[in-house]
Structure 1
Amino acid sequence: MTTVTGDVRQRTAETPTRRRGWARLGRAAVTSVAATVLSQVVLLAVLATGGVPVLASTLAWAAGAVLNFVVTRRWVWGRTGRPRVRRELLPYLGVIGLGGLASVGLTTLAGSLLTPLNLPHVWWVVLVDGAYVASYALVFVVKFTLLDRLVFGRGAGLSPATTSSS
């Protein structure tokens, strides 16, 4: 009988699940970046044309939320078919709504704190935009965890109408 020793990694039942979890997190990060880019375009367009931070960040959040839902649902969690309103859409809106409120609040706060400084408009826009991006970076991990556990993940009440057969 021959015994093999050395750099042989022991495989466990957790390894594929852990890899899928990291892959899912990576795909979620990519979709979040895409949604953030779209949000940035909207935010900067509204701010550059004289819009107030609360309007700019609200419109930016809405644009990113729609893109993020469509892409994340399919690519990150593999859901196909028509989304179920009570099990997917409403919980999704609740989770991202909290992130959106944080973003709109922080962006609005930054705008109001910067206004008395009488900065050139371009610098005011850059700093308000920085607050917007920073707020999204802060809530990404919490948002991903809630979406994974409550909305799209295994514990979210999967049904054949909302899952892919592949």
Structure 2
Amino acid sequence: MRFSRYAVASLVATGITQLVLSVLFSSGLDATSASAIGFVAGAVPHFVMIRWWAWGQRGMPRLTKQVVGYLVVTGLGGFVSIGLTTVAEQVFAPLVVDRGARTLVLIIAYLLGGLPVFVAKFAFLDRVFGQAYDATSSTSVRAANPVAPGTTSS
């Protein structure tokens, strides 16, 4: 269930990222800046969605650890995607003159950069968010009237 919710949140965040990337690049911004701004635009709601919805986290406990863990793993993935987008722009700019077609090339490059880290990112985030989730969702069972060993209750 967590993975499904994580996947849906990732799709929504990717949609936001791609929309921002497309609009900014089509408007004349360079590929690196457009993909970086798009990345941040998708990463912020993604954090909120996975924390609240996928892992059911609320409140402040472990928030700092979760933010730091999310920033590290998402930053590494974003670095790969932004780097591939930048390289794609440098490679395809001389070959594809139409800005709309180049925007499509950048979107594909960005998506391809994110695919290899998708499952690894979930596994890492499940450790970061799952520990708090498991701690808050576990229940302890206690006996109402415990009997000391070696005694009877007659």
Structure 2 regions of 5+ residues with no counterpart? 140-154
Ranges in structure 1 where 5+ consecutive residues have no aligned partner = 1-22
Map 1:101-116 → 2, pairs under 5 A: 101-116=79-94
Instruction: Spell out, residue by residue over 1:61-110, the C-alpha distance to the aligned partner (whole angstroms, 9 max, x if none).
Output: 10111000001001111110136453111111011000010110111111
Q: CA RMSD in A?
A: 2.1
Q: CA deviation at 1:39?
A: 0.6
Structure with higher Rg: it is: 2
Distance 1:56 1:83, change over 3 A: farther
* Moved beyond 4 Å, runs of 4+: 156-159, 163-166
Q: TM-score normalised to the size of structure 1? A: 0.77
Kindly report which structure 2 residues correspond to 1:25-104, keeping only aligned pairs within 5 A, or say none.
25-82=3-60, 84-104=62-82
| Change in CA separation of 1:115 and 1:152 when aligned onto 2, cut-off 3 Å | same
Asked if the contact 1:78/1:164 (under 8 Å) is kept, the reply is no
Could you tell which deviates more after superposition, 118-127 or 33-42?
Answer: 118-127
1:82-161, aligned counterparts within 5 Å?
82=60, 84-149=62-127, 151-154=128-131
Q: Residues 119 and 101 (structure 1 numbering): CA distance in 2 closer, same or farther, change over 3 Å?
A: same
Q: What is the percent sequence identity of the aligned residues?
A: 42
State how far apart, in whole Å, the 1-side matches of 2:23 and 2:31 are.
11
Q: How many correspondences in the alignment?
A: 139
Residue type of the alignment partner of 1:69? F
1:135 alignment partner AA = G
- Conserved? CA contact 2:55–2:133, under 8 Å: no
> What SS class does the counterpart of residue 52 from structure 2 fall into?
helix
Distance in structure 1 (CA, Å) of the matches to 2:133 and 2:55: 13
How big is the shift at 1:128?
Answer: 1.0
Alpha-carbon offset, residue 129 of structure 1: 1.1
